[in-house]
Amino acid sequence: MTVEEAVAVADEIGYPVLVRPSYVLGGRAMQIVYNQADLEKYMREAVVASPERPVLVDHYLIGQELEVDAICDGETVLIPGIMEHIERAGVHSGDSIAVYPPQNLSPELIQTIEDYTIRVAQGLNTIGLVNIQFVISDGVVYIIEVNPRASRTIPFLSKVTGIPMANLAMQGILGIKLKDQGYRTGLVPSKSGVYVKMPVFSFNKLKKVDTVLGPEMKSTGEIIGKDAILSKALYKAFRAANIEIPEYGTALLTIADKDKHEILPLAKRLVAVGYRLLATKGTGEALLEAHIPVTILENGEAKRENILKSMHDGKIQFIINTMTEGKTEETDGYFIRREAADNNLPCLTSLDTAEALLQAMEMMHFQLQAVGTEPIF
């Protein structure tokens, strides 16, 4: 595909688009592109495109992402569970926080996902494992990816459901039917409790890697947090992933224009749990307009150095930093993210991840309220 052909496709399907080479794994060189200039730059600099090595251009759907692993023997389709991603579509599934069972799906959406999984697995004549990734956009369920193979979520789903998925898949390949082992087509009822699959990153060892989350996978492992409720399971998962959750301190907010309306309720919740807010000029002005207390960092040559020094000296406890649409580089943001990684400070580049961390932080805080003067008994 030439640059001109890619631009023509993007104009036809509409921006933003997801562009990726067809010959890579793990989201390597995949990118969300918001305008023609960045698409042209991607085609010229990021990939080597040719008839033998084509580039795929897809319309990017903004929505909630889900993932299913199923086992099929050619007839029966066993679905051990549905995993709900915390981060919206656009973050690689290997870098997303996944929750089992899903906490925000209606019975109708669950039924649709179950139906689509069965139809795809049977339609592809699958023998063994199949992984399907979905996105829900404006209430509509879309299939965004089908992988007729074992995925990285098999160990997690096998462990939390107690279903030996790899073993059953191999039995199916050998001709042993699922129904003869006591299984039937459909979604297995969820187990009690909430299980969180949390990615683990090695940014402190990978010194030049940008920590911003996106379509290209960057995690190097994962852990599981389990509890009766989501907030506690998230707390355990964050701690197990070596993400410290300070009970109080200062949070630095540097937010892209497209996300400023979403940061306001999160900022209010940060203040409610006892955090002081520090923000760059544009973000700070948006917070002040919403009557949220914040200290604004004025623009200037010394701004970056002051921020980095404050992080190094322990005056900032964690950072929320989202990138501007269409920007492939953001010098200040990159150095802030790298300084955070080098000092083991939580630096969240997705507001969905920030929401999850806030749930865990709020669970740690207990507010004492008067019960009134009337006798309790």
Where the chain has pLDDT below 50, the residues are 326, 328, 367-377
pLDDT of 50 reads 53
CATH class of the 244-364 domain in this structure? alpha beta
Total H helices, total E strands in the chain: 11, 16
The predicted pLDDT at position 248 comes to 82
Residue among 355, 80, 366, 92 at smallest CA distance from 230? 355
Q: Give the pLDDT score at 130.
A: 97
Q: Find the radius of gyration of the CA atoms of the chain.
A: 23
pLDDT at site 217: 86
CATH number attached to the domain at 10-59: 3.30.1490.20
Domain spans of the chain?
Answer: 10-59, 64-198, 244-364
- The per-residue pLDDT for 7 is 87
HSE of 1 in the Cβ direction (CA atoms, 13 Å)? 22
| Fold of the CATH domain 64-198 | D-amino Acid Aminotransferase; Chain A, domain 1 (3.30.470)
Supply the pLDDT for residue 77.
98
- Please state the pTM of the whole predicted model: 0.84
**Terminal CA-to-CA distance of the chain, rounded, Å?**
76
- Which residue reads 């790298």 in tokens? 338
Cβ neighbour number for residue 294 with a 10 Å cutoff: 20
